[in-house]
Each structure stands twice: as C-alpha cells, then as structure tokens.
Structure 1
Amino acid sequence: MTDTLEVGVLGYRFMGKAHANAMARLPMFFPDAPEIERTVLVGRDEDALADAADRFGFESTATDWEAVVDDIDVFYNLGPNHVHPEPSIAALEAGTPVFCEKPLAPTLADAERMAEAAREAGDDVPAGTAFNYRFVPAIQYAKGLLEDGELGEIRHVRGRYLQDWLVDPDAPWSWRLDEELAGSGVLGDLGAHTVDLVRFLVGDDDLAGDIERLSGHLQTFVDERPVEGSEETPGESGGDGDAVETRPVTVDDAYAAQLEFANGAIGTLEASRYATGHKNDHTIEIHGSKGSLRFSLERLNELEIHREGDRGYETILVTDADDPYVDHWWPPGHVLGWEHTFVHENYEFLSAVSEGTAFEPSFEDGLAVQRLLAAIQDSDDRGEWVALE
C-alpha cells in the first residue's frame, strides 16, 4: 500500500471544485481512505489558477501539464473534453494513475487511444472514468436488487436526462456547444451518464446482456448563440449599431435512441438541454417480468420499487446505515446530496490507486460508452438502425 498520495489536478472550474471538495471531505468521513496531498493545480489563467488553488487547498500551481504528469502519484484530468486525450495518455505512459472526466474523449478514435494506453500501463496503474452516478447509494441498492433477480427477466429500460439551461435562444455560447472542443453536445455531455448507468445496471449477461443494435436521432434547435459579454454597439447617429457577436452551435441540443438487447429487451434513451422546467432530471426506469424500479437524480435518496403482487410502487428512502456508503455519513433519514457522489467515487478510486488494484468504471468502460455514443451518431447520419459488434 502506497503512503501519502500526491495528487495533481488539471481543471479548476465546475468539476475541479466538485472533486476538490470531495478530497477535502475524505479524511473526515472516510478515515480508511488513503492519505493525500492536493499537490498541484493545473490551468492556463495564472491569476484564476492561484485563486482557485488557495480556495481548494492546493500547495502549488502549474500552467504546463507536461511538467506535472510524471512528478505526481495521481493525475486528475478535469478539463474540457478536447483536453482529455493527450495529458491522460502521457500520464499513463509515465506510470501515473489517471482519473478522467466523462465523456472519456471527444471522439471514438481518441477514446480508443486512451484505453490502449491504460491497457499498456497495466492493472496496477488504475485508469478511471468519472461516472459519478454509479456511486449514488440508491443506484448501488438498485444494482443489488437486479443482481439478486428481484425484477426477474429484464424487458424494458428507459433512461432520460433533461435540462433546460439552453431554452433561452439568447443564452451565451460556451465550449460545450463547439464540436472541436466537446466532440458532441447533449449526446456526450448527458447521454454518456445514461448509457453508463444502463450498462452498469443491466449490462451483465445474466440480466439484459449487451446491446445488439440501435437507432438514434440528434437535433440542434438554435444554430448560433451570442458570445458572453458582447453587446450591441449603438450607431453614431442613434440608429442601429453593430450586431451582437455570435458563434455557431456545431453540436446536438437533444438526442433520442432506441436499443435492442441480446435477450430481446428493448430500451429508450433521450436527453435534452431544452426540456423546459427540468433542471437536472436524470431518470432511469427498468421493467422486468417480476417487478420494476425507477430512480430520479432530482430525488436521489429515493428508489421507487414495484414487486410482483404489489398494486403500485413503494418509495424506499435509501438512507439506512446498512445501505451503500450511508454508514459513513448521517443517521437514517438525513439525506445525502449530489456532491456526496464525488466523495464516494474519489474514495473508491484513490483506494484502488493506493492498493494498486483495478478500478471501475475504467477507461474500458469509458470506451464502451463512447462506442455506443458513436453508434447513435452514426445511426443519425445514416438514417437507419446500426448493429453493434
């Protein structure tokens, strides 16, 4: 077992803050977690970087990831999607374990390169993909029910991820709307989470097995958006001024897909950033021959279960001490939140690094998700069902 782990993190905004918070919580709530030092925070803007390092508890900063990846014990790649491949591959080639945000890469080809680097590094150099929703206690509870055969033979799987932050056509452009930077839009950003949960929950051959073929449809609703901070310039004589600066949207705003599983089960997936009234609604439903379950991220402490013979669904509050991870936190009924999922996944990943063991979801899991996302894109391009190898 390794002593104190020196951690380097690339990225200090949304995901950087989430993971830094998780690292800070570990010693208090998971005393058996390995000791870590938040050693170096990596980014481009030196002033913003210094401020973030101070707030997040990092000892130093760097603007060049190449100077960092072989001098630390663990590398977290939390940058935009187009920054995932090269730093992660370089770290693995240096023998440094890597934890990379999802989707694994902007393209399938990049994901394949990253997974190959992880294979060559070996199982004692963990390479993890950040699918944090696997670590919701209710999802872990659902996984146990499925593995125990509580739902019988799986017939139907539904997954949706709905947000509404782009409903306003004047909402500003961001890197997530650029194909070169993000690879895809809602398909990779939200769909990756749904595909991973479907694989995690019913991908076992004893449940629904592999997805054999699928069809997909992608749609972009607004083709260009204003650049944040740009304003219309008044004309010299009070007339119309220069137009607001805009940038094109080159990714999908919504997607829908149909799945056919090896055992004959069917599935439907969808996601949108235009679902008015939905802030972060990630919902999974699974229907079997003996029962059903459903979960919503907006009520993440609850799991709804229907068992054979019941007249309806029973809502289970997954907060008891014997529920997954809950013994580390509060008394029964004292609910957890979105941020706790990051604590759980950091605990599992850093423990794997310390012990030199494999971690799941791995880069192989990230690659498997990427293959399905690419197949959905391919189906939309071709306008037909696509078989998966």
Structure 2
Amino acid sequence: MTSPVAPKPHLGIGMVGYAFMGAVHSQGWRTAARAFDLPYEPHLTAICGRDTESVRTAAGKMGWASTETDWRSLITRDDIDLVDICTPGDSHAEIAIAALDAGKHVLCEKPLANSVKDARKMADAAARNPGRIAMAGFNYRRAPALSLARRLIEDGRLGALRHVRLAYLQDWLVDPEFPLTWRLRRERAGSGALGDLGSHIIDLAQFLTGEPLAGVTALTTRFVPRRPLPSGASSDAAGSPAARGLGEVTVDDAALFTGRFPSGALASFEATRFANGRKNALRLEVNGERGSLTFDLERLNELHFYDGSAPAAESGFRRILVTEPDHPYLEGWWPPGHGLGYEHTFVHQARDLIQAVADGAQPSPSFDDGLQVQRVLAAVEESASKDSIYIPLPLYSLHDN
C-alpha cells in the first residue's frame, strides 16, 4: 500500500486589492506549488477590498477562502503569514509598514511608493523587522529570457557594458475620451507613465547590469491635460474643478531620460502610454565590448544574442528560444519549445518569495531595491522640472542576488 504524501506546512497569504494586479498575483499563488517543489504550500487565506459584494465575487473567482473589507483586520489575523499589496501607490506605505510591524512578510507591487520619503519609511520598516521578508514586485525580472540575460552579462559574455537601451510602449491613453482613472491622478498614482512603466525599465536596467544608476537627465510631457470624469465621479473626486464634465490629468503621459552607470555605461529610457499600436512592448538592448543582447516582451520566450568574437562570415544576432530545462525557472514547466506567458512571471515571483521565507534571506528585489528605483523616479521628475539638468544619485549597492 502506498504511503500518503506528508502535507507541507501552509503559508497563509492575505492579499489587499483584487483588480488586474490582484488577479495575476492570485494566479501566481495558486500555481507556484503545483509547478515547483516548495518548502511551503501557499494558502489563499483572505482577500481584502472595500466593497463587500465585489470582494466576495473576486474571492470566488480567484480561489480565496475568505474576505475582509478592512486591511487592518487582515494584518491582525493569526492565519495570515504574508501580506500581498496590490493597491494604488498612495496606500502602499501605510499597509506595508503596519504589516511588517505586525510580524507579517510582505510583497508590495511596484513602484514601491509614491515618494522617496514613503519608500524610505518602508525600507526602514523592513530593516527593523529582520525576521520578516519584504519584496518589491518587479515581476519582469522573473521572465526566463531576462534572467538568462542577467546570467550572460554576469558571466562576462558581453564584456564591459557600453550602452543599455530600454523602452516601454503602450497605447491605452491615445483616445482623449478615455476617462480620468486613478492612474491619471498624482495623489493616487504618484506619477504617470514614468512610475507605471518607467519603474519597470529602471529596475531591469539595474538588475541586468548589476549597477545602480549614478544620475539622469530627463524630459516629461502631458499630451492630454483634461479627460472626462469617470461615470458617477464629481469634480472634487478628480481633484480640480470640472468644466463640461472634465477633470485635470495631474501626471505625465510620457517620459524620456538618459542615465549613466558608475562603470561609465550609458543608458536611455522611454516610457509612454501614447505609442499607437503598441500594446505592451517592453524592449531592451544591451551593448558590450564583446557582444550584445536584445529582448522584446511581446516575444518573451526569445532572447537575441550577438557574439562579437564570431568570424565575420558567421556573425549576426542569433535567436535563443528560452524553453530548455536548464534555462531559469524552466525546470517546473513544459518540454522544450512550449512557451510561457506573462502570468508565469508572477508564478516565479511567488516561488522565489516562498523560498526566501523558508531560507530567512531577504529577496531580490528587496524594499531597498524598490527605494533605489524610487530615487531614480524622483531624479527624473526633478530633472524634467529644471529644464533637463543632470541630477546625480546617491551611491547605492545593489544586492548580489
């Protein structure tokens, strides 16, 4: 008779927020222990949202065992070990700090906060609770092709780096009749395309190179200054007087900036939600003295590598299909050639966080890493507000992992 498999200890997850990010985070928690051999079984214990009926509907759809309508109640529950924050940026600091001080591990969506001041408070809370794990949610690090790119750069395949080019292009705000959502209000979102998209490519630039940015020079702009108020909203809700049902857009629509790394490598960044026809095009290229790498999120199972040491007659970028068992994260998935998708980055994020909890080791990206991204975002805004002057950044040591 076959002996029953001993159950693994549960890690109780409590999630605050249940919209788009809540859905993909839920997918990650549901799937991680099915794909990978983990020391804990994540248990979707409770999901929190202010509207009782909506959060109950979300719980049933996403697989959560119970609901709360106040995050303060969530973080006091004994059956919650880890708090996952998927709310707008204006609430990140308050929830994360309270959760850490209540003895919970924390995962917080990017950008870490709406200001350097709040991000620093969050990093300080993580530091004064050394037994608690605090991770910033930059999921694109967990795309296997980008993890492979980091490995190739670390192994010296590109040699000394010269250029890092990154662009994150979307088009969902092209229509001027698109309503004034919370993402277009500074008091809720902190910034616009810069924080929403730019934070991802800032993190990836520092992750891939292993260096913090040393300074930036920037431009930002707002293409559509006023938008229709959402149905049922008032001018007060939009934060400014309304004319003909319009409210003020108080964040950037696009950001362009350049940067320099301590090693001397140069970087360029573009983040926009006005690139007509581009749905989720995160593109990057890294050039080094010995070779180059390119990646496009819309072809996320592929990495293109140029080996500058190859004979001229054989030179050129070659396509690496990142689906082999020894590629990052692929040990948990399908046979070679069977590609992964966007949602798998959140599964990998959950896997790495659960392992960090078991190891008692701070994860990457940590809240300190999230704070560093916040510093860059602030420097971009400062440069743009001062006619694109160069803004130096404080020295910061990225985590080895």
In which range does the TM-score fall when normalised by the shorter chain?
over 0.9
- Please state if 1:26 is matched with 2:32: yes
Q: CA deviation at 1:227?
A: 2.2
Residue by residue over 1:307-339, the C-alpha shift from the partner in whole angstroms, topping out at 9 and shown as x without a partner, is 113532111100011111112111000000000
Letter in 1 for 2:11: L
Q: The residue matched to 1:257 in structure 2 has which SS?
A: strand
Residue by residue over 1:182-239, the C-alpha shift from the partner in whole angstroms, topping out at 9 and shown as x without a partner, is 0000110000000000010103xxxxx44222101110000111123379xxxxxxxx
- Assess, with a 3 A threshold, how the Cα gap between structure 1 residues 210 and 5 changes in structure 2: closer, same or farther: closer
- Please state if 1:272 is matched with 2:272: yes
Among 53, 57, 62, the residue aligned to 1:56: 62
Among 206, 215, 225, the residue aligned to 1:213: 215
Whether contact under 8 Å (1:70, 1:96) holds in the other structure is: no
Q: CA deviation at 1:31?
A: 3.2
Among 4, 21, 30, the residue aligned to 2:10: 4
Q: The residue matched to 1:338 in structure 2 has which SS?
A: coil
- Please state if 1:385 is matched with 2:395: no
Whether contact under 8 Å (2:12, 2:81) holds in the other structure is: yes
Among 349, 354, 375, the residue aligned to 2:353: 349
Q: The residue matched to 2:107 in structure 1 has which SS?
A: strand
**1:172: which partner in 2?**
179
Partners of 2:288 and 2:393 lie apart in 1 by: 24
User: Where do 5+ consecutive residues of structure 2 fail to align?
Assistant: 1-7, 234-241, 395-401
Partners of 2:232 and 2:81 lie apart in 1 by: 42
Q: The residue matched to 1:190 in structure 2 has which SS?
A: helix
Tell me whether 193-202 or 36-45 shows the greater mean CA deviation: 36-45
- Please state if 1:80 is matched with 2:82: no
Among 139, 147, 150, the residue aligned to 2:154: 147
- Assess, with a 3 A threshold, how the Cα gap between structure 1 residues 312 and 188 changes in structure 2: closer, same or farther: same
Whether contact under 8 Å (1:214, 1:257) holds in the other structure is: yes
Partners of 1:297 and 1:36 lie apart in 2 by: 28
Counterparts in 2 of 1:251-290, with a 5 A limit? 251-290=251-290
Q: The residue matched to 1:197 in structure 2 has which SS?
A: helix
Counterparts in 2 of 1:204-243, with a 5 A limit? 209-229=211-231
Whether contact under 8 Å (2:38, 2:351) holds in the other structure is: no
Whether contact under 8 Å (1:217, 1:380) holds in the other structure is: yes
Q: The residue matched to 2:147 in structure 1 has which SS?
A: helix
Q: CA deviation at 1:353?
A: 1.7
Partners of 1:175 and 1:33 lie apart in 2 by: 38
Q: CA deviation at 1:33?
A: 4.9
Amino-acid identity (%): 45
Letter in 2 for 1:266: L
Whether contact under 8 Å (1:70, 1:95) holds in the other structure is: no
Letter in 2 for 1:215: T
- Please state if 1:371 is matched with 2:380: no
Residue by residue over 1:340-378, the C-alpha shift from the partner in whole angstroms, topping out at 9 and shown as x without a partner, is 000000111122123322111110010000001100111
Whether contact under 8 Å (1:160, 1:270) holds in the other structure is: yes
Residue by residue over 1:224-263, the C-alpha shift from the partner in whole angstroms, topping out at 9 and shown as x without a partner, is 11123379xxxxxxxxxx9752221000000011112222
**2:326: which partner in 1?**
322
Q: What is the aligned residue count? A: 372
Counterparts in 2 of 1:118-137, with a 5 A limit? 118-122=126-130, 124-137=131-144
**1:339: which partner in 2?**
343
**1:239: which partner in 2?**
none
**1:235: which partner in 2?**
none
Partners of 2:59 and 2:344 lie apart in 1 by: 21
- Please state if 1:92 is matched with 2:125: no
Partners of 2:34 and 2:103 lie apart in 1 by: 29
- Please state if 1:156 is matched with 2:163: yes
- Assess, with a 3 A threshold, how the Cα gap between structure 1 residues 324 and 298 changes in structure 2: closer, same or farther: same
Over aligned residue pairs, what C-alpha RMSD do you find? 1.6
Partners of 2:19 and 2:266 lie apart in 1 by: 38
- Assess, with a 3 A threshold, how the Cα gap between structure 1 residues 355 and 263 changes in structure 2: closer, same or farther: closer
User: Where do 5+ consecutive residues of structure 1 fail to align?
Assistant: 204-208, 232-241
- Give me the TM-score of the superposition, normalised by structure 2: 0.90
Letter in 2 for 1:11: G
Partners of 1:32 and 1:264 lie apart in 2 by: 40
